[in-house]
Every structure is written in C-alpha cells, then in structure tokens.
Amino acid sequence: MRYYLKRYLSNFQTLSSRLLSRLPSPPTVLFQRAHVHDYDKNDLEWHSENRFVMRGKVACQQFGALWCRLRVLGASSFLTLQPSSEPPSLKLALATIVGLPIVLWVWKCAMMVLFQRKIIYMGYIPPNARTEELFRDVQPPKDISCEEVRIGGEKGITLYGILVQSMVAATRSEDPTTVMVYFQGNAGNPLSRIPLFSHLIMGPGSRSISKNISPLHNLSILSVAPRSYWKSSSKTPTERGLISDYKHVIQYAHSRFPNSKIILYGHSLGGSVAICLAATLKDREEFMFVKGLVVENPFESIPGMVKALYTSKWVPYRYLGNMAWDKWDATAETEKVAKEELDSISQIGSKLQRNEEESEDVKTERTLLGRLLKDMMVIVCEKDEIVPWEMGQSIYAASEKARSTSESEDGLGRNVVLKKALHETGWSEAKWLVEMRKYIQDVENSTK
C-alpha cells in the first residue's frame, strides 16, 4: 500500500510541474500563500523516515498552486467578456429557439429510459414505505389478526409480507376454506392494504354488520411485498424477478394451507402481474389448487400506460413505451392463451370426428391462465384517474374468446364496473364488497 501511494505522489508531482510550466503566470502576489518550497533531493534522502510525509507536503503545495492559477485564468477570461451592441444572428436565434427544447426533450427521454424501473416500480413511495413496521407504525383493527411472514425466493431473495384473517380464524387449527393471494400495485407496501383486507373479511364495520354481510372466518389473505418493496430484498425489480417472487408466494400459500383453495387477486400493476404469472405457469398438479383470478383496474401493458399518460401526439414521451424493458402486456397474454385454448379444442373436436381414441394425442399442456380465463373476474372503476378503465375492458373482452365454447359456458367470469370509484377507492363501494364476496362464495362452492 505504501509503495503505491509513493508512486501516486511521484506521478502527481510530475504532472503538476508540467501543467504549471505551460500556464501563463498571473501576478505573483496571488501566490504568496501558495508558494512552493524547493526541497533538495539530498534533504529528502537524508530524512529517510520523513520522506513519505515530505513528498506529500510537496504534492499538496503544488496542487494548491495549480488550483489557484487555474482559478485566476478562468476569472480573467470571464472578466474580459464585454457586452455587444450587435443583435444575435438568425442562425443563433433559430438554434436557441429550436435546439433548446430538443436538447431538453432528448435529455428527459434519456433519463426516462435509463431510470424506467424507478418509475414503474415505486417501492420508495410513500417515503416511509420501506421502513414501516407492523404494530409499531401500523395497528390493525382489534378484530383482525395480522401475522408477519418471511418467504425465501430464488438466489437468496427474501420476501416479507402479512397474513390477514379474523381473530376467530386465527384460533382455529384447520385450514381456511379459501386463501387469497394479493398482488399489490406499483407503490406502497402490504401494511397500507390492511383496511382493504379488514373490509373484505369483516364487512362494513364489525359493530354494524348487516344480516346479509357477516364476517368471512373461512377466508385468509396473504399479501407479500416483492423485491425492492417494504422489507423484502433490495434487488432491482424486473418482470422475470417479480414473476419468480410471486411464484414462490403461491407455493408458500399451498405448503402452509394444503387443503385450501387459492384465489389470485391483483390490483393495478398487480393485476397485470397476476395475468402474466398465470400465463407462464403450466397447469400441473402443483398449481391445481388455484381456483380463481380477480384483477382490479389492471394495466393493459406498460407501453399502453405510457400512451395513456402522455396523450398529446406531439410530445415525444408517448413513443418511449416500445423501449420499456418490462412490458407486462396482459392483453397480449390473454389473447394468446385464449387463442391456444380455442385451437386446442378445435383440434380435439376434429380428431374426435375421425377417431375418438386418437384425441389423446393432440392434448397439449395448457397454462394456468388457460384454465382460469373462463373464471376470471375483472373489476374496473369508471372514474379511474390513473389507469383508463377501458384497459380492464379490453382484457375482459380478450378473455371472452375462451368462453365461446360449450365447456366454458358455466364459468365464474364476470365484468364489474364501479361507476363512481377512483383508482384506489373501489373497495369502499358497496358493489365491490358484494361482488367480491359473491365470487369467493362461488369459488368455494365450485366442484372443479
């Protein structure tokens, strides 16, 4: 270490000397405090113990002299500038008027592309979203049990979340009938959703529960923050990473409650995440316990959201959507899976007409989304100020293609429109609570 420091100081002395020799000398009075002492080489060799300290002093003094001279030269060149009475040339005026907005637009576009994942995944909003603690900063209602859970992900990722259920359900030893896995939006943490979970489980106020809305003691809600959210690992979020995180969450839910039916429920970006995750998972035995899918105010895609936020065609930002690294194209995935379902059914039908026994050869491994499409419930808020409600409608329209067969006529799928709700206030509407509870009951009563 000492050897490298000595070499660095020696090289710095040489460079400083060369720069000082090439710069013009300002008045000497300015250098009275930055005078460089001339040390004899013999003195340096004689003070063998202090050679390193003396060389450092020489380097520091030379740096001070160099810095002082550069400041004087810069100030002198600036002071020589004089105002001109001549008007600016036409080229200069046009370059300023046209060039400055272009430069600013290019700069902002470049920043939006480079830091796009900071814009999409805002786990840092609100400011305390990463540091909040259950029971210390957020107190759940008295009739609700909240348990903090910790789940291991891929490559050392650690995920944190909460398990919410009624106090009555928490004291039972048997598994709940239904477990709802919640996919959160692009900001906040699971603690901010506790009022929503409490409203769904206990109804509109535990003291004034109506006869038709009683507590759901057979429902548990598992909400886990993906990477870069809440207390989970601070790793860069990506489309592949979030899909992997929520896959581990579903597996954890099944391992903890092996006798429960699972419903996937995603809000905003979480709705698109739930659809894309179901489209990547094969409908094998390990995911046969997933029986329902609910998406509320889902993104159609990231490029679609960019165009929705920047509606003016002359603004360059609306054309940056195609440069998104994470597409989250829920509509395309829904249309693709629906087409695969129709093609598979038509192939089996044509085979049955020729030879019934050969129909087994054309069966292909379907995706989890392919099985859930006919049972998917889409909730949209007509007054949504962030995600256009037409995006949810387009996803539902794409899923309807899978309901055109006789096999899917008895599906649980439905489209719910909340007339007066905003993006984050849909759960406070009476219709939301009725439709959500009806869907949960239909999934529990389903024999599939």
Question: DSSP string spanning 243-301?
Answer: HHHHHHHHHHHHHH-TTSEEEEEEETHHHHHHHHHHHHSB--GGGTTEEEEEEES--S-
Q: Is pLDDT of 362 > 80?
A: no
Of 236 and 348, more confident:
236
- How many Å apart are CA 204 and CA 427, to the nearest integer? 11
355 Cβ contact partners less than 8 Å away, ≥ 6 residues apart: none
For residue 333, CA distances in Å to 6, 268, 329, 361, 367 come to: 62, 16, 6, 25, 11
H or E segment to which residue 392 belongs: helix 389-400
Mean confidence (pLDDT) of the chain? 83
Phi/psi for 272 (5° steps) reads -65, -35
DSSP conformation letters of 167-223: HHHHT-SSPPSEEEEEE--SBS-GGGGHHHHHHHHH-S-GGG--TT----TTEEEEE
Give whichever of 76-90, 95-109, 233-247, 362-376 has the largest mean pLDDT: 233-247
Residue pair 177/218 in contact by the 8 Å Cβ criterion: yes
Residue pair 62/13 in contact by the 8 Å Cβ criterion: yes
Q: Is pLDDT of 419 > 50?
A: yes
What is the tens place of the pLDDT at every residue in 265-281? 999 999 999 999 999 99
Instruction: Average the pLDDT over each of 160-164, 223-227, 318-322 and give the range with the smallest value.
Output: 318-322
Where are the extended beta strands (E) located within 55-129? none
Query: Would you state the pLDDT for residue 423?
Result: 97
Single out the residue of 389, 368, 171 nearest to residue 287, CA to CA: 368
Pick the CATH number of 144-445 from 3.20.20.60, 3.30.70.1150, 3.40.50.1820, 3.40.50.150: 3.40.50.1820
Query: Would you state the pLDDT for residue 344?
Result: 80
Query: Would you state the pLDDT for residue 314?
Result: 86
- How many Å apart are CA 404 and CA 407, to the nearest integer? 8
Instruction: Determine the average pLDDT of the residues in 61-89.
Output: 62
Query: Would you state the pLDDT for residue 213?
Result: 79
What is the tens place of the pLDDT at every residue in 13-58? 565 565 555 545 444 444 444 444 444 444 444 444 455 445 555 5
Residue pair 299/305 in contact by the 8 Å Cβ criterion: yes
| C-alpha gyration radius of the chain | 33
Single out the residue of 162, 234, 245 nearest to residue 201, CA to CA: 162
Domain boundaries, the chain: 2-77, 144-445
Query: Would you state the pLDDT for residue 218?
Result: 95
Q: Is pLDDT of 81 > 70?
A: no
Instruction: Average the pLDDT over each of 37-46, 114-123, 345-354 and give the range with the smallest value.
Output: 37-46
Start-to-end CA span in the chain (Å): 70
Q: Print burial letters for 352-388: b (CB count within 10 Å at least 16), e (below 16).
A: eeeeeeebeeeeeeebbbbbbbbbbbbbbbeebebbb
Residue pair 230/130 in contact by the 8 Å Cβ criterion: yes
Q: Is pLDDT of 152 > 60?
A: yes
% of the chain exceeding 90 in pLDDT = 62
Q: Is pLDDT of 82 > 90?
A: no
Q: Is pLDDT of 75 > 90?
A: no
Q: Which amino acid, residue 249?
A: V
Confidence of residue 410 (pLDDT cuts 50, 70, 90): low
Confidence of residue 205 (pLDDT cuts 50, 70, 90): low
**26 CA to centre of own chain:** 57
Query: Would you state the pLDDT for residue 343?
Result: 83
